[in-house]
Amino acid sequence: MTWQKLKNPQIAWRAAQDIQDGAYVNLGIGIPEMVAKFQPEGRHITYHTENGVLGFGAAPGEGDEDWDLINAGKKAITLNPGASFFHHADSFAMVRGGHLDLAVLGAYQIAQNGDLANWRVGSKGVPAVGGAMDLVHGAKRVAVITDHTTKDGKPKLVEQCTFPLTGVACITRVYTSLAVVDIEGGQFILREKLPEMSFDELQSLTGATLHTGGDVGALTPPELS
C-alpha cells in the first residue's frame, strides 16, 4: 500500500493534541515551535522560553517587532495577557525544578532507553549547546518531534545513539513523520502509525525493535499546508 510521510506541521499538530488545558510548555527552536499554532480550541496553554518570558504569543507582524522582546531562537514575539518576565536563573529553575508540564525538542537520534542526541553530529565545527541539556531534565514530560528517518533514509530511532548525547534516558514520547512512539522500560512502544503503512515496513525504517502494548492507533492528522 502506498503511504506518504507526515509534513512537519502535521507532526506538530499531533503533538499539540496531547497538551492539556492549563499546561506550561517549552517548545524547542525550529519544528517544535510549530506546535503552538495547532493548540486545540478551548485550551489555555502558557508557553515558556529560556530567555525569561512566560506567556508569549504569536510572532508580531513585519515591522512591528520589538527586538528586546524575543524568544530563545532570537525571534520576535508578542505577549499574551498575564505574561511575565524573569531572569535566566529563575527561567532555568522553572526547567530543572520540575515546574514545566512539557518540553518538546528536535532530535538527530533517540535511543530506545530515552537517550537523546540533538546538539551536534560530530566533532567538527563550532559546538553550540544552548539550553538543550537543561531542557531534557525537569519537565514532567519531555517529547521529541522528528522525521522518522534522516534525509538519506537512516533510522533516527535507534538502539544506541552514535551522535554525542544531549541527555540520558530523558525522552518519554516521540512524534515522528510515521508514528507516535512511547519510551517505557528501555523499549520503544508503538502507539500510533500511518494506517496505510504495515507494521513490518515501519519496523524496517526503525533502528530498534518496536513493541506494541495493545492496540496501535491510526495516525491521521488533517491536511495542513
Partner 1 sequence: MDKTLPNLQAAVSSITDDAVLMIGGFGGSGAPIELIHALIDRYKATGSPANLTVINNNAGNGKIGIAAMIDAGMVAKMICSFPRSSDPRAFTDKYLAGEIALELVPQGTLAERIRAAGAGIPAFFTPASYGTELASGKQIQEFDGVSYVLEHWLKADFAIVKGAVGDTHGNLTYRLAARNFNPLMCMAADKTIAQVSKITSPGGIEPEEVVTPGLFVDGVVQVSDSKQEEVLIRTGVEYA
Helices (H), the chain: 8-17, 88-96, 132-135, 199-204
Residues 176-205 that bind partner 1 (CB under 8 A): none
Choose between 3 and 86: whose C-beta lies nearer to partner 1.
Answer: 86
C-beta of residue 89 within 8 angstroms of C-beta of residue 134? no
Can residue 96 be called a binding residue for partner 1 (CB under 8 A)? yes
Query: Per CB under 8 A, does 126 bind partner 1?
Result: yes
59 binds partner 1 (CB under 8 A): no
Q: Is 167 in the site for partner 1 (CB under 8 A)?
A: yes
The single residue of 33, 41, 50, 223 carrying the catalytic annotation is 50
Question: Per rule CB under 8 A, is residue 60 in the interface with partner 1?
Answer: no
Burial of 13 (C-beta count, 10 Å sphere; 0-12/13-18/19+): buried
Nearer to partner 1, 72 or 216 (CB): 72
DSSP secondary structure letters along 157-194: EESS--SPPSBSS---EEEESSEEEEEETTEEEEEEE-
Q: Which residues contact 18 (CB under 8 A, 6 or more apart)?
A: 143, 173
> 149 Cβ partners below 8 Å, 6+ apart?
155, 156, 205
Compute the least distance from the CB of residue 189 to partner 1, in Å. 23
* Active-site annotation holds for 65: no
Q: Residue 127 interacts with partner 1 (CB under 8 A)?
A: yes
Closer of 168 and 218 to partner 1 (Cβ): 168
* Residue 152, all three cell numbers: 538519506
Decide if residue 28 touches partner 1 (CB under 8 A).
no
Q: Identify the three-state secondary structure at position 113.
A: coil
We find the least distance from the C-beta atom of residue 93 to partner 1, in angstroms, to be 8
Nearest to partner 1 of 1, 126 (CB atom): 126
User: Which residues of this chain interact with partner 1, rule CB under 8 A?
Assistant: 50-53, 66-70, 74, 85-89, 91-92, 95-96, 115, 125-134, 137-138, 164-168
